[in-house]
Structure 1
């Protein structure tokens, strides 16, 4: 046990894990582009990406599979990083944007635009971000009592998530004639997503990835405890609020393009923490990579398992994530 702890604390080991995850990312990319009704040889993938030869392979890869794999990677990155931030800020491995209400807030505001004001569908990303920030703000207000305690945040988040979930259900009941368009959003799916969704989320992913890595050391200090953080001059409440806003920013961008997709932010950060420890300078890049790999493989499975019928990737993640959540609950 002691040897395992010493091993995961070594810089070389952490870099090795990151390199291994990059290899898995490449494998996930290949598998996602090969598998499907139309089988494509690995060497043809790069040929049709680089050259528009008008072949069926080019049409399938360029218009369907390639953007879908890139989108899965970006969404997986954002949700995993959001979960890593929340688990660090709240010092709780069960924290996740879908569990504590941030994704529900983004989902509620997104559903309002999709169902009630479909003519403004282009505003879904903005509405989702506003909803996520509103949920985060509401959680803070409800959990504040002479300061912030992580247990109160979790409990307030569960209550807010239930409240927003009821709001979503209410909207779908009152606008039952428009439910079909919202079902995909509710279950979380990459079906029919293509380049426009990639360009929508890409700036959020780049900005979020840069920010989490720039401020990783602050989160390292924060997880040591409020007293220690204050002792080294860190503004604890401002730092916690800033990181929560960043988590909401990342989660909202993912929700806005694929809908309500849970458990990525729960499974990935905790798995990385078990493998390489709590140093966020290495955790954040590894978490982003594993989030991408997990969602790419999950979406490929969802798309091909019952082909030509497609399962929403959100269902696959729920089947994987629910037992993992129960395992964590028992373990903690």
Structure 2
């Protein structure tokens, strides 16, 4: 009598397992948020956090919570959601586990427009999200065109994205050299950080996050059909190219809104959806919320580590993500090629 062969895929396909992992991601997101609210130059107990959120007696610690940490944590959570969703969408429509808004150049398109506005028209900072969206969308279209040769191949997407990212990054560097007297405000934008983020930045990003999330949820059925392959998807009545254009626009909106607030924060869109997919599978009905919760946990926790690891000096969250994200990218590159 043969013993049953253990297969990870069989475990991952079970609905109870998927719901369990989704619940774990939700708990991780909540714990990371509470950890980020409580830890810093001044530690705040969880009981004080609860009291501060339910009353309006503004003591010193409550002032710190409401005016400094809470908007920063909210922005970190929304950025985590946006970049994770953008990565999940791009990996699906391009059928490439290495696709990420930062790696394939979408962030650079958004970043170039953002730097132009910040350096040349600083009084128009409020239009950065809209400008960054058009920059991201333009970069996505350019990458798509360069990578197209009788269809889309994963390697061409990565190579075209790296080339476009390097090209746009060069123009960002040129602008910073020519306007070196104004470069201080753009430095954090280039690195990617949450320092000094306020309620004004929350107002800038939340509507784009909400719209992007709603569009991503609405497009889960399309994404699942695309996973079957282009020919099968066409046979089921799906307009493949139109779907790719629409979902690329959604990913660009999500990535651009995140870039406009925190700058060029990389690797979130690569690590988070890939890790979620390894544990929960390819079903976008579950992958979307899983990426959201895990994105919140990764960004808020990384930001807290950046604040604490060399306190009182603060390391931007973009640096922390680069330290852990680059080895993960190399691992994926060797695994997939």
TM-score per shorter chain, which class? over 0.9
Unaligned runs of 5+ in 2: none
User: Runs of 4+ in structure 1 displaced over 6 angstroms?
Assistant: none
Task: Determine helix, strand or coil for the equivalent of 1:233.
Answer: coil
Q: Shift of residue 149 of structure 1?
A: 3.7
After superposition, the C-alpha distances for 1:76-95 in whole angstroms (9 at most, x for unaligned) are 00000000111111111111
Q: Please, which moves more after superposition, 128-137 or 286-295? A: 128-137
Q: Shift of residue 234 of structure 1?
A: 0.9
Matched, 1:269 2:273: yes
Name the counterpart of 2:316: 312
Given candidates 67, 87, 90, the residue that maps to 2:91 is 87
Counterpart CA distance in 2 for 1:2 and 1:200 is 49
Corresponding pairs, count: 332
Verify the 8 A CA contact 2:126 2:204 in the aligned structure 1.
no
After superposition, the C-alpha distances for 1:36-89 in whole angstroms (9 at most, x for unaligned) are 111111111010121121211110111111111111110000000000111111
Task: Determine helix, strand or coil for the equivalent of 1:192.
Answer: coil
Matched, 1:211 2:215: yes
Given candidates 75, 78, 99, the residue that maps to 1:74 is 78
Matched, 1:281 2:285: yes
- Counterparts of residues 5-84 of structure 1 (less than 5 Å): 5-84=9-88
Counterpart CA distance in 1 for 2:9 and 2:152 is 31
Q: Shift of residue 147 of structure 1?
A: 4.1
Matched, 1:256 2:260: yes
Name the counterpart of 2:183: 179
Counterpart CA distance in 2 for 1:60 and 1:279 is 41
Counterpart CA distance in 2 for 1:173 and 1:2 is 58
Given candidates 211, 227, 232, the residue that maps to 1:228 is 232
Task: Determine helix, strand or coil for the equivalent of 2:257.
Answer: helix
Q: Shift of residue 188 of structure 1?
A: 0.3
TM (normalized to structure 2)? 0.96
Q: Please, which moves more after superposition, 2-11 or 57-66? A: 2-11
